[in-house]
Amino acid sequence: MLFLWLYMFYSCAGSCAGLAARGSPAPPRAAPPLLPGEPGEESSLEEQRVAPDAGSPISSFFNGSGTKRLPQAIIIGVKKGGTRALLEFLRVHPDVRAVGAEPHFFDRNYERGLAWYRDLMPKTLEGQITMEKTPSYFVTKEAPARISSMSKGTKLIVVVRDPVTRAISDYTQTLSKKPDIPTFESLTFKNRTTGLIDTSWSAIQIGIYAKHLENWLLYFPVGQILFVSGERLISDPAGELGRVQDFLGLKRIITDKHFYFNKTKGFPCLKKAEGSSKPHCLGKTKGRTHPDIDQEVVQRLRDFYRPFNMKFYQMTGQDFGWD
């Protein structure tokens, strides 16, 4: 009887391994650890992961296999640009394994060391890519050197959005948590009479993309950074995901068939999320209604950002059409 049991076990192991080699789906990812981070930047439990379907015998057999590796690609920014949507879309790809929560390693937890960072990563099989996303990296002065020190070949992705809209979205998020904060208009200016913009306010400062990019180009060539349009991620998610998959060296598996447009939320959702057979939209913290902002203030902000936008277009070789 013992001999028969061993024979059946090793026969199963051989056939399952053969299936994996021919491209069977990777095992469901273990739930990522929840880490401290910037308020509002981390996703809710609903957004971090979608509960996988009950595993098949094959997926159960391989659950836990693979190796934890440092990420080969990182979504480094920007806050309120669409990074959560991009990560959730990418996780549909069978060759992408990503941490759900934001590790904040290169800005807040660097002293913990690379071994700690690697231990946060999901296990991957040969040919799969390990990823993470922490939008605050893009505006963190020390982050480029630290990532370069880990690996000069790390591929970087930046999701950018009209800086005026991004600033209003940033403010809207804070307002939802702190209803008694000053108005957007009062925070925008150091002196409204003179029209002097307060660039020390993070909601304004983040949108000066050209300034932040200069720091990254000291350590990485521009060709190693992919700039994703937050606007096109909404209007043409499959098109932007095609560019991302090409950049990462992945087969174009994520296509139009994976998306549907949710009119209520105002952005695309997945017909089937990673590890699930059910449709999935980002949670209620995404797609908040923006408050009405004085149009004179909006115009002053557009005038302020215009030269920085033009420089950013030149640096990236892309016109994002924000004016």
Catalytic residues: 80
The annotation status of 317 as a binding-site residue, yes or no, is no
Hey, what are 243's tokens? Answer: 């560019």
The string over 184-206, giving b where at least 16 C-beta atoms fall within 10 Å of a residue's C-beta and e elsewhere, is beeebbeebeeeebeeebebbeb
Cβ-in-10-Å burial (0-12, 13-18, 19+) of 146 comes to: middle
Give strand ranges (E) for the chain.
67-68, 73-77, 96-98, 123-124, 129-133, 155-160, 189-191, 196-197, 225-229, 259-262, 267-270
Residues whose CB falls within 8 Å of the CB of residue 156, separated by 6 or more in sequence, listed in order: 73, 74, 76, 147, 216, 220, 224, 225, 226
Q: Is 287 annotated as a binding residue?
A: yes
What is the total residue count of the chain? 323
Task: Tell me if 113 is assigned to a ligand binding site.
Answer: no
Is 290 labelled as part of a ligand binding site?
yes
Looking only at the bridges linking them, the beta strands covering 129-133 and 73-77 are parallel
Question: Any known ligand binding at 239?
Answer: no
Query: Cα(164)–Cα(197) distance, rounded to whole angstroms?
Result: 12
81 appears as a binding residue in the annotation = yes
- Is 82 one of the annotated binding-site residues? yes
CB burial readout 157-179, b (16+ within 10 A) else e:
bbbbbbbbbbbbbbbbbbbeeee
161 labelled binding-site residue: yes
Residue 42 per-residue DSSP state: S
Q: Is 258 annotated as a binding residue?
A: no
Amino acid at 257: K
80 marked as binding residue:
yes
- 91: how many CB neighbours lie within 10 A of its CB? 21
169 is in an annotated binding site: yes
Task: Look at residues 241, 67, 74, 250 and name the one whose alpha carbon lies nearest to residue 153.
Answer: 74
What is the sign of the dihedral through the CA atoms of 19, 20, 23 and 29? positive
Residue 109 has what DSSP assignment?
Answer: S
Give the residue ranges of the annotated binding site for 3'-phosphoadenylyl sulfate.
80-84, 161, 169, 286-290
Give the residue ranges of the annotated binding site.
80-84, 161, 169, 286-290
